[in-house]
């Protein structure tokens, strides 16, 4: 368990430091290992993140078509939109044991199969009930991915690349959102449901070409596979003995600890880590992002802006800002970006009530600042919290 001194909080911590201290040698390391394999693994994993974005972006461009074809009321469609996060909540809270039993790859494959089933049910739907069932299943799938994808990336990535590659998770979410908005402007809601299955299929196929998490392989006692996976990720000529020893030592330490319970989260030595990790995720969910995404077309229409144009523009803005964040996050640190995010969002709150045009400007400011801070950083910090507990 991490010592409380490892947490950089309070007036004594430098503003430009990240949440957690990093080993100087690791931080200054320029050995990227087998960078191609690490990037390939990340690409395959973030297909789940792309699916996440496709799912949350689905309800906005399809609202009019679904309501007209199936004769749904506004209340019934609101239920369809809101059931996605319910499924995601169930998926994210129930998949931890599966990730330990069948591995990170097995869990990602499971989530893709469940999401494909959900999209097929939506495609074949003739009424609100089947739509809700399909939406719940896609929500469950993206909930699983919201847990396992950042964990997998954190476990296969060299330390000095972890921040940048974990940010790709949120970039892929925004890219999926952009694709859903763009394609949804030109195709029917049933066709858009079929396109939602594409990233799932790519993930299932890609998983056959990448190794599983070395940490998980070591945890379940697959020593030969563990050595092979780590060597494949770091390069055939790389000396991985030190990293192997570090992983094995951490697992031995965990095995000798008493079995953890929920109450252990509230022990003094863990409480700061829990508050940081869970607190950031709570603030992310209460930031209002999902409300804007689910009803983007309505918001832009009420402001007098063509809804498809507005939605596509702000989705493009998200990708640009998130890509910028991926470049600077390990240099600027986590806290400074979060502070910039919150400062800019205060300006958004001040200008959004000044008229339709200011509403659009406010949304763009909000989305840009969200992507720089709360959009990606909580996923990174959560993985760092787990590695320090």
pLDDT in tens, 245-256: 888 888 887 777
pLDDT of residue 315: 76
pLDDT at 346: 62
44 lies in some domain? yes
End-to-end CA distance of the chain: 4
Domain count, the chain: 1
224 inside domain: no
- What is the pLDDT, as a whole number, of residue 20? 42
Domain for residue 313, yes or no? yes
Average pLDDT, the chain: 80
- How many other C-beta atoms are found inside a 10 Å radius of the C-beta of residue 222? 16
SS3 state of residue 72: coil
> Domain limits at 144?
4-26+35-210+258-387
Kindly list the distances between the CA atom of residue 178 and the CA atoms of 5, 148, 231, 313, 378, in Å, as whole numbers in the listed order. 42, 23, 36, 9, 21
215 assigned to some structural domain: no
**Residue 288 maps to which CATH number?**
1.20.1250.20
Judge whether 63 lies within some domain.
Answer: yes
Number of Cβ atoms within 10 Å of the Cβ of 246: 10
- The 10s digit of each residue's pLDDT in 75-116 is 898 899 889 989 998 998 888 889 989 999 999 999 999 999
Q: Is 252 domain-assigned? A: no
pTM across the whole model = 0.74
As averages over each run of 10 residues, the pLDDT of the chain (389 residues) reads 38 41 43 77 95 90 90 89 90 88 95 97 94 96 92 87 79 88 91 96 96 91 90 85 85 74 72 79 75 72 72 77 72 71 62 63 75 74 62
Residue 361 located in a structural domain: yes
From the number of C-beta atoms within 10 Å of its C-beta (0-12, 13-18, 19+), residue 217 rates as buried
197 occurs within a structural domain: yes
Instruction: Find where tokens 């990233």 sit.
Output: 199
| Helix-, strand-, coil-residue percentages of the chain, each rounded to 5 | 80, 0, 20
């Amino acid at each position: 368990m991490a010592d409380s001194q490892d947490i950089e909080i309070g007036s004594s911590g430098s503003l430009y430091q990240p949440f957690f201290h990093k080993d100087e040698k690791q931080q200054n390391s320029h050995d990227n290992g087998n960078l191609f394999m690490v990037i390939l693994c990340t690409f395959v994993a973030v297909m789940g993140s792309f699916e996440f974005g496709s799912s949350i972006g689905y309800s906005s461009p399809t609202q009019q078509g679904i309501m007209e074809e199936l004769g749904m009321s506004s209340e019934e469609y609101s239920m369809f939109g809101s059931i996605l996060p319910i499924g995601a909540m169930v998926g994210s809270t129930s998949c931890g044991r599966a990730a330990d039993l069948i591995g990170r790859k097995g869990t990602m494959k499971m989530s893709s199969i469940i999401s494909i089933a959900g999209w097929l049910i939506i495609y074949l739907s003739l009424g609100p009930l089947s739509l809700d069932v399909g939406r719940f299943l896609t929500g469950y799938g993206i909930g699983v991915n919201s847990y396992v994808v950042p964990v997998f990336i954190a476990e296969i990535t060299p330390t000095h690349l972890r921040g940048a590659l974990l940010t790709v998770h949120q970039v892929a979410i925004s890219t999926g959102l952009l694709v859903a908005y763009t394609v949804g402007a030109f195709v029917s809601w049933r066709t858009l449901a079929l396109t939602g299955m594409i990233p799932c299929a790519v993930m299932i196929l890609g998983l056959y070409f990448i190794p599983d998490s070395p940490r998980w392989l070591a945890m379940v006692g697959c020593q030969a596979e563990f050595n092979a996976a780590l060597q494949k990720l770091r390069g055939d000529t790389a000396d991985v003995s030190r990293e192997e020893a570090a992983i094995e030592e951490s697992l031995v330490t965990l095995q000798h600890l008493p079995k953890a319970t929920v109450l252990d989260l509230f022990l003094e030595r863990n409480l700061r880590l829990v508050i940081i990790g869970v607190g950031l995720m709570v603030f992310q969910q209460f930031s209002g992002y999902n409300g804007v995404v689910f009803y983007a077309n309505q918001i832009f229409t009420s402001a007098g802006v063509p809804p498809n144009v507005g939605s596509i523009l702000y989705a493009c803005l998200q990708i640009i800002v998130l890509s910028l964040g991926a470049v600077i996050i390990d240099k600027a640190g986590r806290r400074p970006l979060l502070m910039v995010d919150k400062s800019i969002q205060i300006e958004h709150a001040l200008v959004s009530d000044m008229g339709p045009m200011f509403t659009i400007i406010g949304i763009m400011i909000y989305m840009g600042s969200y992507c720089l801070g709360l959009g990606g950083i909580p996923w990174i910090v959560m993985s760092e919290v787990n590695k320090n507990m």
